[in-house]
């Protein structure tokens, strides 16, 4: 019987919401929230009680050398030695010189890439250059036709021949793909007379032209989409290069200022707010 009671769908008990007149006080506090808040409050209360007891039991004459060797921050944080070896002044100067040389190299490299990309965008005149089909790995096919004489070569019409520049060939009208029934129907219409032949040729040529126009429009739309994507990619990359160049220049200026302060060649202010100026040679 208990198994059947568990199989029946029971009512979902929802938590009580905050009344409308008390919504300005936020979400209604549940018992779990109260338990966590009370536990945290009691822990802090015990901690403060222990600190008060330690302060009351403190020996005013107690002394050990760590009291004067260590320092404490204003917020109560204690400064301790991490065990790292202290570098000499000359070693730090050499390291900062190497950092400055590395930053100069990176700035020059970034500037060259940025200038080359700006030239490509400028030469394109707002349009992306080089967005042809060959650049995306699709090589245009070529078709070579042979004739017997020079006169046939001059009179040869490349329209409808695949791979020619004058007109693109539509695979839908490839003669090798025409079915046998269609050929028989075309033969019967041709046998009816020259008028039917002219009408058939006119209809087929117009249909072929429409297909060619449709193919050209689809190809033009695809190329426009490629140009748009390429333009967005170039613009995004150019902005990133400019931002990186600005950050590198700022880092180089900061390194130069630090080196100048270490050489006492510029004015400055230390951490405690005391101003100082470089020592000048007496004349």
Per-residue pLDDT reduced to its tens digit, 96-113: 888 889 999 999 999 999
Nearest to 141 by CA among 175, 114, 168, 111: 168
What confidence score (pLDDT) does residue 277 get?
74
For residue 228, how many other CB atoms are within 10 A of its CB?
13
Distance of CA 128 to the CA centre of its chain: 20
Distance of CA 102 to the CA centre of its chain: 25
What's the sign of the alpha-carbon dihedral 13, 14, 15, 16? negative
- In angstroms, the CA 164 to CA 160 distance is 8
Q: Report the b/e string of 78-105 with b at 16+ CB within 10 A.
A: eeeeeeeeeeeeeeeeeeeeebbeebee
Query: Which residues neighbour 255 within 8 Å (Cβ) at sequence distance 6 or greater?
Result: 96, 99, 100, 103
Biggest CA-to-CA distance, the chain = 130
Which H or E run includes 6?
A: helix 2-7
Query: Which residues neighbour 40 within 8 Å (Cβ) at sequence distance 6 or greater?
Result: none
What confidence score (pLDDT) does residue 241 get?
92
- What pTM was estimated for this model as a whole? 0.41
Which residues, given as ranges, of the chain have pLDDT below 50? 126-139, 166-181, 183, 190
Q: For 129, what's the count of Cα atoms within 13 Å in the CB-facing half-sphere?
A: 9
Q: For 65, what's the count of Cα atoms within 13 Å in the CB-facing half-sphere?
A: 0
């Amino acid at each position: 019987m208990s198994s059947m009671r568990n199989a029946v769908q029971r009512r979902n008990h929802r938590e009580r919401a905050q009344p409308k007149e008390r919504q300005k006080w936020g979400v209604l506090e549940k018992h779990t929230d109260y338990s966590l808040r009370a536990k945290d409050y009691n822990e802090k209360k015990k901690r403060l009680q222990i600190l008060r007891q330690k302060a009351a039991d403190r020996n005013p004459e107690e002394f050990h050398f760590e009291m004067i060797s260590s320092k404490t921050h204003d917020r109560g944080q204690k400064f301790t030695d991490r065990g790292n070896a202290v570098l000499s002044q000359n070693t730090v100067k050499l390291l900062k010189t190497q950092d400055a040389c590395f930053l100069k190299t990176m700035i020059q490299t970034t500037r060259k890439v940025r200038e080359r990309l700006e030239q490509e965008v400028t030469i394109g005149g707002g349009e992306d250059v080089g967005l042809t089909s060959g650049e995306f790995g699709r090589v245009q096919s070529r078709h070579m036709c042979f004739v017997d004489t020079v006169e046939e070569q001059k009179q040869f019409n490349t329209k409808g021949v695949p791979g020619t520049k004058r007109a693109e060939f539509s695979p839908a009208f490839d003669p090798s793909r025409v079915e046998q029934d269609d050929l028989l129907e075309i033969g019967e219409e041709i046998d009816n007379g020259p008028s039917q032949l002219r009408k058939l040729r006119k209809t087929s040529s117009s249909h072929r032209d429409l297909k060619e126009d449709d193919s050209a429009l689809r190809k033009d739309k695809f190329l426009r989409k490629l140009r748009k994507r390429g333009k967005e990619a170039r613009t995004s990359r150019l902005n990133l290069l400019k931002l990186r160049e600005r950050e590198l220049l700022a880092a180089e200026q900061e390194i130069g200022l630090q080196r100048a302060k270490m050489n006492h060649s510029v004015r400055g202010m230390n951490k405690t707010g005391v101003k100082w100026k470089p020592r000048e040679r007496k004349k």
